[in-house]
Amino acid sequence: MTKNNQSAFSLQISDNGIAWVTLDVKGESQNTLRAEFASEFEAIFTTINADTSVKAMVIISAKEKCFVAGADINMLQDLKTEEDVLAVANTGHELFAKMEQLDMPIVAAINGSCFGGGLELAMACSYRISTDDASSRFGLPEVQLGLLPGGGGTQRLPRLVGIATSLDLMLTGKQLIAKKAKSLGIIDEVVAKANLRKVAEKMALKLVGKDKRVTSELKLKIQPNLLMSVAGLQKLALETTQAGRKIIFDKALETVNRKTMGNYPSPEKIINAVQIGMNQGFDAGLKEEAKGFAELVMSPVAKQLMNIFFASNELKKDSGVVGDVECMPINRVGILGGGLMGAGIAYVTAEKAKYKVRIKDQDTKGVNHALKYCWDLYKKRIKRKQLTVTEANKRFSQITGTTDYQGFKRCEIVIEAVFESLELKQQMIKDIEENCGDNVIFASNTSSIPITKIAEASKHPENVIGLHYFSPVDKMPLLEIIITDKTSPEVIATCVEFGKKQGKTVIVVKDGTGFYTSRIVAPFVNEAGHLVSEGVAIDKVDNALKKAGFPVGPITLLDEVGIDVGTKIAPILAEEFGDRMLPPPLFSKLAGDNRKGRKNKRGFYDYSGKNKKKSVDQTIYSLLGITPDNQMDDEKIAERCILQMVNESVLCLQEGILSSPRDGDIGAIFGLGFPPFLGGPFRYVDTLGAKDVVDKMLALKETCGERFEPAKMLVDMASKEETFY
């Protein structure tokens, strides 16, 4: 066996004529593709071509749970011009073309993540084998960074799985487990991890001398099951005719525009590249892909999304404390309260963090509700074929319930998710300290009550902390950890690590009324109420903010949270922060009319219809004495609400609630749906310029009042022309 080592690739030629190319980017936990690796890969091709003993090639990774995670994002961010990006894309295209042209079979032997450029590399091979390991996942997630697949993915994937399926995968960036990837035709074979090398070697030798399958030359993939039903035949007609394809592309574009509101250019460019490739041929599609990729990498949207990517990765390494602090051991977790939040926390704790969970509620009905909620989530995963019934049952068995404190003695951390009452939460602390060990961590999921006040009932305030989850817990990515002056570094570090194991992006903030996220969302919603008071229609306010990039409008958000809940929190914030936090009178007027929002089907919107669609309750206008005829521009509506949130975010940094602009941006985006393409409140200021933001706020202060007084930090930054980053 001969060996030739490269910096990212190593080549071994075995005695039976197989060239083993091993990917291993030194000093990194994952393999990523960089432009400088192209010359190394080409050198391997040259060596292989010159060696007549080589019959086949196998590409494999030396990393434990990663084949290739994609392109190196640092490399992309460092590129200065569209021409630079175009050169990188074209180099990748040429390299993968050489792989396809090589006169021998190439087998991709995949274990671990295979994303972006990694999947594009695999698709340029003639055969793909994956392990059945849970880490083996496949996808083209570039759209999540504001990009498109730039290594031929827009052209090879449709030829493997069909147009509609490929668009779905690329426009969502969804990940597939190996079994699903095989059923779609992305992967040819799934094997046990221990057998990967053996099966890859056997298949490589088997393919020697046979016609090489070249993905770029494949005709459009036709799934055999399409021939088995009327619906399948209809789909077949759409995929294989010019008129049918136009319907697919037009529908995809319509769906994309409805979801993105035109704020994200990458989905449209993905559709365009696929359409050109299908209609004009592979090479034309590649050219369009490279052009679109270059434009997107240099776009402001992609820059902001890449900033979010880097900030998220930084937080994964952040322990929440200064210096080396040893985490406390956790094996069992107690949950107080079997409602939606308690049940959701229980699920992610058992499913993702892999801890045993004990849920306590005041009665059997509450316990059963929590257990049913968790099991329903497992049933969804069974239905999607992500888990077998046996696997789901085994995982679900980690969650148990009780109506007393039996089983809590062995819990190292207890999370309360009970009603928002200071007295009740303080009683929970007393109960836990009586029924658990002295070192138990007591965590509150409160969204508004200061942790310092809750901790006043504790004998060990150093063990009290806030863990603010967002609903639904299994979907929302943020965990806001709230610390007091007395919370110990060990408890902080332990809870940060605990949140990461639950799959959360974690930010740590100082204690204070409203913490960070609840505090900055209040003026955002209040401003929406002021706009309605001024005669702007309810749905016009919501639609303006959705057009600006928020997932839901502020009025809908209040209906979802509960108008009654909002009117209870508002006075607490106003008492602490003064008149700028005073809600418009219409909120309390609606609460007095027993309008709670979705929960009782009466809010700003009417939810009584049989279909799940809501509509504005027109009787609100007469109740409030308002005529909704104010035709204010959507941009002005959105600007007023966004500036309120941005200014409050800066105040949180100014007062030390936040430790960094990074945490503020991530908290607003992941917890509240602040538009990612704007980068977060602090990136928003940097993009516009602090002076521009201050000028806008001062102008609004003249017309709307003192609530638009800009934060002193903003004013100082404007005078010095400073930025947050």
The radius of gyration of the chain's CA atoms, rounded to the nearest angstrom, is 28
Within the chain, which residue ranges are assigned CATH 3.90.226.10?
2-297
Is this model's pTM higher than 0.95 or not?
A: no
Region for 133 from its dihedrals, namely left if φ exceeds 0, alpha if ψ lies in -120 to 50, beta otherwise: beta
Compute the residue count for the chain: 725
> What CA–CA distance (Å, rounded) separates 67 from 114?
5
Burial class of 4 by CB neighbour count within 10 A (0 to 12, 13 to 18, 19+): middle
Catalytic residue among 120, 288, 351, 480: 480
Q: Which two tokens stand for residue 205?
A: 């030798």
Interval 313-354: pLDDT, tens? 999 999 999 999 999 999 999 999 999 999 999 999 999 999
Sheet of 9-13, strands arranged across: 2-5, 9-13, 18-23, 56-61, 106-110, 127-131, 189-191
Determine which of 113-127, 206-220, 450-464, 665-679 has the lowest per-residue pLDDT on average: 206-220
What is the number of alpha carbons within 13 Å of residue 314 lying toward its C-beta? 13
| Distant-in-sequence, close-in-space partners of 305: CB < 8 Å, separation ≥ 6 | 144, 145, 146, 676, 677
Which H helix or E strand runs over 114? strand 113-115
Cα 549 to Cα 91, 233, 257: the distances in Å are 35, 38, 12
Does residue 4 register a pLDDT over 50? Answer: no
Tens digit of pLDDT for each residue in 268-307? 999 999 999 999 999 999 999 999 999 999 999 999 999 9
Check: CB of residue 24 under 8 Å from CB of residue 67.
Answer: no
Q: For the segment 207-238, what is each residue's pLDDT rounded down to a tens digit?
A: 999 988 888 877 655 555 544 444 544 565 67
Quote the mean pLDDT of the chain.
94
Active site residue 702: no
The ranges of the chain annotated as CATH 3.40.50.720 are 332-510
For residue 452, what pLDDT is reported? 98
Contact status, residue 340 vs residue 372, Cβ threshold 8 Å = no
| β strands within 267-353, DSSP E | 332-336
**Residue 223 confidence (pLDDT):** 54
The lowest-confidence range among 76-85, 168-177, 603-612 is 603-612
DSSP notation for 357-383? EEEE-SSHHHHHHHHHHHHHHHHHHHH
Instruction: Supply angle C-alpha 199, 204, 207, rounded to 5.
Output: 125
Residue 308: closest CA among 77, 515, 642:
77
User: DSSP assignment, residue 334?
Assistant: E
Structure tokens at 573: 């914030």
User: Which amino acid appears at position 307 of this protein?
Assistant: N
Summarize pLDDT for 572-617 with one digit per residue, the tens.
Answer: 899 999 999 999 999 999 999 999 999 899 999 999 877 678 899 9
pLDDT-derived band at 437, boundaries 50, 70, 90: confident
Q: Which fold has domain 517-657+689-720?
A: N-(1-d-carboxylethyl)-l-norvaline Dehydrogenase; domain 2 (1.10.1040)
Ramachandran bin of 363, using left for φ above 0, alpha for ψ from -120 to 50, beta for the remaining angles:
beta
User: Does the domain spanning 2-297 belong to CATH 3.40.50.300?
Assistant: no
8 Å CB contact between 445 and 438: no
> Can you state the angle between helices 712-720 and 690-704, rounded to 10 degrees?
130
Q: Rounded to whole angstroms, how far apart are CA atoms 437 and 413? A: 10
Judged against a pLDDT cut of 50, whether residue 537 lies above it is answered with yes
- pLDDT over 90, % of the chain: 89
Question: Do residues 651 and 643 make contact, with C-beta atoms less than 8 angstroms apart?
Answer: no
Contact between 560 and 652 under an 8 Å Cβ cutoff? The reply is: no
Residue 704, both tokens: 């709307």
What is the reported pLDDT for 697? 98
- What local confidence, expressed as pLDDT, does residue 222 receive? 54
Confidence category of residue 243, pLDDT binned at 50, 70, 90? confident
Look at residue 233 in the predicted model and tell me its pLDDT: 43
Are 615 and 538 within 8 A, CB to CB? Answer: no
496 DSSP β-pair partners:
none
Q: Where in the chain is the domain with CATH 1.10.1040.50?
A: 517-657+689-720
pLDDT in tens, 134-143: 999 999 999 9
Write the class of the CATH domain 332-510: alpha beta
pLDDT confidence bin for 89, thresholds 50/70/90: very high
